[in-house]
Every structure is written in structure tokens, then in C-alpha cells.
Amino acid sequence: MYFGVLGPLIVRTDAGEPVAVPDTKVRILLLDLLANLGTPVSADRLIEDLWGSRPPRNATGTLQARVSQLRSALERAEPGSRALVQHGPAGYTLDTEVVDSNIFEEYVQAGRRRDALGLWRGQPYVDVRDHEFARAPREHLEDLYLTALEHGDDVLQRTTALIRQRPLDERLHAVHLKALYRAGRQHEALSAYAELREALSEELGADPGPELTALHQAILRHDPSLQHSPTLPAPLNGLVGRAELLAEVEEQLGGNRLLTLVGVGGVGKTRLALEVGWRGGNARMVELASVQQGDVLEALATALELRDEAGDLLPRLVDSLRAREILLILDNCEHLELAALVQGLLAAAPGVRVLATSREPLGVSGEHVLEVSPLTPAAAAELLRARAGVTEDVTAICDRLDGIPLALELAATRVRALGVQGLAERLDDRFRLLAGGKAGPERQRTLRATIDWSWDLLADDERQMLRSLAVHAGTFSLDAAAHVSELPEHLLLALVDKSLVVATAGRYHLLESIAAYSLERLTEAGDEATLRRRHATYYLTLAQQAELRGERQREWLQRLDQEVANFRLLPPSLELANALAWYWYLRGRYGEARRTLAAALDLPGQPPALRAQAAVWLAGMTATDAYGTDVATAGDRALAAVGNDPHALWFLTMTRWAYGDPVVLMQRIDRAIVLFTEQGDRWGLAAALSTRAQLNIVHADLQAMQRDSRRSLELFDELDDDWGRLQATYALIVAAEISGDYPTATTYLEDAVRHAKDLGLWTEVSFRTAGLGRIAMLTGDYARADELHEQARRLAVEQSNKSAEEYAEVGLGLSARRQGRLDDAERHFTKWLGWLEQVGGTPGIGFIHNQLGFIAEQRGDLETARTLHERGLELARQVGDDRAIALALEGLAGATEDPGRALSLLADAETLRQQVGVPLPPAERFDVERTISRARR
């Protein structure tokens, strides 16, 4: 619950609803408890505060009644709030900290002047202004108010109004006189002082106090100390995109006396620090960029306006700061040793807070460090558009310039001449382009000068490390940086401390401008070729070391994911392509695999063994390529080149199990199983068994499917291979589905989707999501079926996996046909006939012909339906799939006008299904029941 005393009493629930506190005495009681927050108030004291010298006859009982009224009012508004009013041996207390006066005091102490003034609604405890219990807390809050007010933009307006209420308040008059003087109204300030002196004499018989007298003298001699924050330059523009960070800085300074803002050059540390100073007031800025170590004390004395006198400067600085409440902004500290000085000042002057800006921490005990990151994309775009005066999309420019405010400000000056598109096209030459600024320090007039400033502060070995990092792409590891540079790891960590390298979650990267600068320096040093060779060697070795089969699969998948940009930077080679091929397959990046393998195979003079291995990978990756041609022949050639390799036999069978000649594929997988068994290769055996289980789907051999799948799953469990588990359960899912055991199929599918998402195997996620769509369709939830199939289709398109896309879109066609949306269904089905022809997907071609036949029959075009079903029957017999033959017969039954013939064909179909042990489940009798109903009319 929230209580407000900075003005008339307010009480609100945590949800912001106002709370009515009835009866004047009950409100006084509440205000008394608030004025003594945290301190018990005795019953006798409360009775005196509420009724003074005229208490009621049963004062204790009446007080208890008022307490009960207060508790009831709070409880009605927010259950449980009765307990806020507590009673103990020492008296009554209000158990809350959410009081606007407490928050106000915290804001003032933290220097958050504007936030504090925003809470002020009027005189504190105004409802009990004549009660003695409110006098001390009211005066304390009013003093804090004057502290917050003194450095505000509207101080003159506010003090003028307050003086009418408190005409003899010397502290208030002091603030008012300073405000008049700072506004250039010295004569009015002197007149106001004279009026106050006369009023004090007439009303109190006293003279102004020593502080006010000293202020009068300072006004007479135009003392420079009267000027407000003379070292804080006024902003030219508003601060963009830093509201959250600004609030965090102010909060940190509220609890810590030393805060250092670190970040790359040009990121806006100084601007942020100045904003804190302007908002908090009583701040002095010490600009140190051009200061040498021996001149630091003098720069500090100048900012504090200490007179140039003989003697040791440090004790005078300490004496000057000892009794002051002040924020020192030490700007651009990175080239100086300031730790001892700052620590000494903070120890000697408890009212001093230090806000430092630097590209690395100061190294002081107790120092809090806050990184100033580049602007978010949205904030960067807002800044560039505002400075350039354009409304066009500037996202590309902001991305290339890393969201660095200085770079964006410099870029804005070029937009007028080049336009947004012209500027974006020229950013490869950013250091020449972003030059020519005339305002600000020399180091901030060009992008190059900003980075030069940091470069010049580096030791030689740090420069060497920074140069070497330019050959990495994207992010890199600590190990990679050390190996490629052949330098100690601590140099990279030093560059992180100096804000030249960005560290995120154990990885490192260079901002694009830093990378471009470092590459220029690397080229100048003549080391680029050497570093790129080391880079290629390191990442090739890493790819070859990857353990993507077994218990470390998940770890290595994530590690290789992090290095994708660096792998893509390497020149093509068969060693790299073969090392990454299985990773590409697991991640569904078939297009990248095909391009890289083809480029490597085009290289002359490669060892035959490497060429043969790469040819196998390429043939498998091309098995379902939308643009592939004669994929079966390519696979045969690859197998012939590689010899009796069980992994090649398995891979080229696994990638074509649903499309190739089932007899040939079964012969290959049986041979692979024999070889894997002879070699003791448990992973290979598990993989081959899962593929054989899939091949047996064509024959609906449930026993063989379940036997091989369960043995495969057992082996993959022993090996702790997550991808293998997904493969092993596929035939079990199909077996459950064709048997009508939809709960079991759903359980397998949902578990598979979770595991595939966890591994980032998005092609598998697509297939399994479409599988869930099939179950939803068979159980009559067509809306859910369409949603799941569409999710799967979009995901397959994103992964460029035609096989997964076809499976999902055929599911959309099946659902559309069941719902009577025949045109939609036809469109979904016919789209895939050409592709299936191309990849040899005979079972799929036959299935689609049957579905198109059902559509023609539903439209009443029985002749077309018969033609389509006959083609489906022909293809099913080629494959030898009895379930597909039964489906075609069921289609022909629906396409005949002879009821007897229809029932006979249905009987033949049922016999076939019974022979393979898989009768048609009730949920799949949609077309059969239509035909039976029509035949029996």
C-alpha cells in the first residue's frame, strides 16, 4: 500500500486504487504514525496528539476505536492490510516503507533531483500543519526540497511562491537570492536581502544569520562560486535511446560513491555523464583527455575553482571537498593512473561522489563499473534520422556503424550531400567518409581519430593482438584468439577491459568499425596472409575434431553453431567440406552443403579418397534438391567411387528411403547392417537399423518396423545420441498411426518435437510437427491440423528442405479435402508432382494420383477419377506396397457407377490390408464409408 504526505494525505492500494480513510481523527492518527514511521508511538502520546488538553472521557477506549477504524479502512481496500497497523509494548507503529517522503529522500540523496521534485505536491503534512508531531518531519522534508530545488531550472518560480508562505525562512531566502543572482538579477537579489533583514528585525528583533550574511557579501563582489555548475556544458540536443541506462546510472550512484562508465570510443559515455550531472545538480566536470599525469591535480582544482596559491595542492583539494556534497565527473580517464587519487578523495570527503568515464575501469577498490553499450537498432535509427533530418529507412547504415552515436552523428553530416542510399553504398570507405567534423574535441572529429586515440594507448603486444583479431568473422573464442595470434590470452582480456573487444557469454567480437580499423593496421604490418593461414588451420582442425555422434553431440552442435561465420570465411577445400558435411545435414543446411561440396570437388589435384567421400555427401545432400537431376545415378556413381563403405551405403539409403527403388535400397541397407556389425560400429548399426525400419513402412511390416526401431533406439540410448533417438522413433510413430493408436503416436511426436527444438534440429521439428497435424486431422480437429501443417510448411521453407515442405503441404491437402475445400486440396497436391518425378518419389506420386482421383470423384467426374486411380494403382504395384494398392482399389470403387463392382473392389482392398496385418482404422475410412453409403442406396 502507498502513502503520500508530500501535500494532502493520499492512500492507494498496490494496484493504484484510492483508499478512503474516514473521520478526521482517524486521518490524524494515520499521519501521526507516518510522521513517526519506524518508531513506536505510545497510546498516551497519540491521545495527546489527537485531542490535546481535552481528551475524551474514555481516552484509551476511544483511541482503540480509532485504530480499529483505520485497520478496517485499510483491510477493505486491500485484504491483509489490517496488519500494517501494529501494536507492541512500546505503542503503535505503521509497518510500511512505501511512503512518498521516503522515496523523495532517497531520490534527493541519490542526486535524482527531477524525480524527487516530481513527487512534491505541496507542503508536507499539510493536513496537520498545526500539530507539533508533524513539525520536525515537515521541516526536514522542506530542507530536502530546497536541496533538490536549488539547482533546478524552475528554482526562481518555485522559491518566489514559497516565500509568500514562509517569509522569514532564511534557508529558503538563500536559495531564492542565488536564483535571482544566477538569472542576472543582482539588483533584485540585493533588494530582497534588504527586505528580509528588515522583516527579521521587525518580527523577531534579529539580524540575518552568518550564512545569509556571507551570501550577501558574495553577491556584492560577484563571487564566481555563485555560478551554477560552471564546468558542465549545455547540451545541443536531447539524449536519445538512453532512458533506461540513465535511470540505472542514477540508481547506481544512489548506492555507490564511485561509478565508472566504460565503453568503446564514441559510444556516448561523456554525454550520458553530463546528463546525470544536469539532472542531479551540484556537479563539476573535469575534462582529462588532454591532461598529462602530472597535471591532474591542477585540472581538478580548476574545475573546483580553487585559487592558484602556493603550497601543496592535494591537501587544499581535500579541504575544499571535505564538507561538500558534490558529484565529480572525471571524463576520459583511460590514459591516466587515477586509482590512488580517487580513493584518497573518497576516503577524506564523505559527501563526494565520483562518476568517471573511461575505456577501462580505474582499478579502485569498491569501484562499480557500468558498460555503455551501443544504441539499440531502433534508438540508433531514431538518432540518425533526427540528426540528418530524414524519414527514410536508415537501418542498414546504423547496423554497419554498430549503433555508435559518434559514428551516427558524423554520418548524419554526410546525408545532406549523399542521401541515405549514397551514404550506405560508401560505408566500406568509412574512415575517409566520416571525417571533416569541426565541432568537439579533435579526437571526436573523425571516426578514425576516435579509434586512433584508443590505439595510441595500447602496448605493442596489445596492438599485435588487436590486429590479429581482424581475420575472425562474427564471434570467436578465447582459445581461437590465442591460437591464431600466437599471443597470450591475457592480451585479449586486456582489450576487453579497454573496450576495444566486446565480450558476451564467453564469446568475443569486434565492432565493425574496430574490425575495419584493425584490418587496415594488419595490412600495414604485412601480416595479413600469415594470420589468415593460421585462422584457416585453426578452424579446419576444429571442424575435424567435432564429435557429432554420441554423448557430446549437443555440445559440439552448439560450438560449431558459434563458428559458422568463421567456417564460411575459409577457402573451399575437401577437408573442410567433408568435416562439416554431417553438421550441415543435422542443421538442415543442405543448400550450403551442396554449394561448398561442389566448389571443393571442382578444385584440381585432390586426393581420390577425399573426392569419393565428398561425392557421397553431395549425392546424399542432393537427394531431395529441388533442382537436382538424375539423383539416383549420382548416388550410384558415388558408391562406386567410395567402395564397400557402410557409412556411404547407409547415408545414401537414408537420404532417399522415401524416393528410390525400395528393392535396391533394402539391399544396400542390409549390406550396411552386415558391415557395421562386422566392424563393431554401434552407431552405424543403430543408424542403419532405423533406416531399415523406415524402408519397411512401404511394406507396412509392423513387426519389422518395431523390431528394428526398438533395437536402434536401444543402441542410440546407450550411445546417448539425441539425433539418433529421433530417427529411431520415426517408424514407431508411423506404426502407431497406421494401427490407429493415435495417443501413442501423439506422445512420441510431442516428445520428438521437444527434443528436436532443444537440439535446434529444425528440419526434424518440421517433420514431427506435420506428424502432429496428421493426427489432428485423423481425429477430426481440422483447424488444429491446418495450423500445425502450416507451421511445419513454413519451417521447412525456412530450412530449404523440400522433403519436409512436401510432407507438410500434402497434409494441408488431405485436411482441405476432408473439409470439402476441393480446389485448395487440388492446388496443394498438384504442386508436388513435378518435384516427385524429379527425385524418383514413386510412392508419393502414386499417393497424390489417388488423392486427385478422390477429388475428381467428389466433384462427380468419375471418368477422370478412374484414370487417376488406375495410375495410382500402377505405381503402387511397381513399388510393391500392398497398402498403396488397397488405397487405389478403394479409389476405383468410388469411381465406378456399378454398386456391385464397388463393393467387390472394397472387399479386395480390405483383404489386402488384412494380409499385411493393418486393417483400415476407423479414422481413415472417410472415403470407404462414402463409397459404401452410395453403393447401398
For the stretch 633-665, pLDDT in tens is: 777 888 888 888 999 999 999 988 877 788 889
Q: Would you say residue 32 has pLDDT above 80? A: yes
**Per-residue pLDDT at 436:** 54
Model pLDDT for residues 363-386, shown as the tens digit of each residue: 998 899 999 999 999 999 999 998
Closest by alpha carbon to 282, among 214, 234, 351, 350?
351
Residue 166 binned pLDDT confidence (cut-offs 50, 70, 90): confident
What does the pLDDT average to over 7-22? 92
Identify the residue whose cell numbers are 568503446. Answer: 264
**Per-residue pLDDT at 625:** 62
Q: Per-residue DSSP letters for 167-233?
A: TT-HHHHHHHHHHHHHTT-HHHHHHHHHHHHHHHHHHHS-PPPHHHHHHHHHHHTT-GGGSS-TTSP
Q: Would you say residue 25 has pLDDT above 60? A: yes
What does the pLDDT average to over 290-317? 77
**Per-residue pLDDT at 438:** 47
Q: Would you say residue 305 has pLDDT above 80? A: no
Per the structure block, which three cell numbers stand in for 65? 476505536
In the chain, the amino acid numbered 349 is: A
**Which pTM value belongs to this model?**
0.66
Closest by alpha carbon to 896, among 932, 852, 845?
932
Distance CA 352, CA 321 (A): 7
Rounded (to 5) percent helix, strand, coil in the chain = 65, 5, 30
In the chain, the amino acid numbered 665 is: L
Distance CA 296, CA 344 (A): 14
CA distances from 317 to 304, 309, 311, 394 (A): 8, 12, 11, 49
Per the structure block, which three cell numbers stand in for 731? 517408424
**Per-residue pLDDT at 540:** 97
Q: Would you say residue 431 has pLDDT above 80? A: no
CA distances from 880 to 396, 663, 690, 696, 844 (A): 56, 9, 21, 11, 13
Neighbour count for residue 627 (Cβ, 10 Å): 10
In the chain, the amino acid numbered 218 is: A
**Per-residue pLDDT at 743:** 95
Bridge partners, 94 (sequence order): 85
Residue 881 binned pLDDT confidence (cut-offs 50, 70, 90): confident
Residue 629 binned pLDDT confidence (cut-offs 50, 70, 90): low
Model pLDDT for residues 385-425, shown as the tens digit of each residue: 988 888 899 999 999 998 988 888 888 878 877 888 988 88
Tell me, letter by letter, the H, E, C secondary structure of 842-903: HHHHHHHHHHHHHHHHHHCCHHHHHHHHHHHHHHHHHHCCHHHHHHHHHHHHHHCCCHHHHH
Q: Are 611 and 642 in contact (CB under 8 A)?
A: no
Distance CA 641, CA 295 (A): 77
Model pLDDT for residues 197-249, shown as the tens digit of each residue: 998 888 888 888 888 888 888 888 876 556 555 457 666 677 889 999 999 99
Q: Are 664 and 842 in contact (CB under 8 A)?
A: no
Mean pLDDT of the chain: 88
Identify the residue whose cell numbers are 573426392. Answer: 611
Residue predicted with more confidence, 324 or 739: 739
Model pLDDT for residues 501-534, shown as the tens digit of each residue: 988 888 999 988 889 889 999 999 999 999 999 9
Q: Would you say residue 546 has pLDDT above 60? A: yes
**Per-residue pLDDT at 235:** 65
Q: What domains can you pick out in the chain, each with its CATH number?
A: 2-226 (1.10.10.10), 243-371 (3.40.50.300), 377-451 (no CATH), 458-544 (1.10.10.10), 841-937 (1.25.40.10)
Distance CA 802, CA 395 (A): 32
Q: Would you say residue 342 has pLDDT above 60? A: yes
What does the pLDDT average to over 2-12? 93
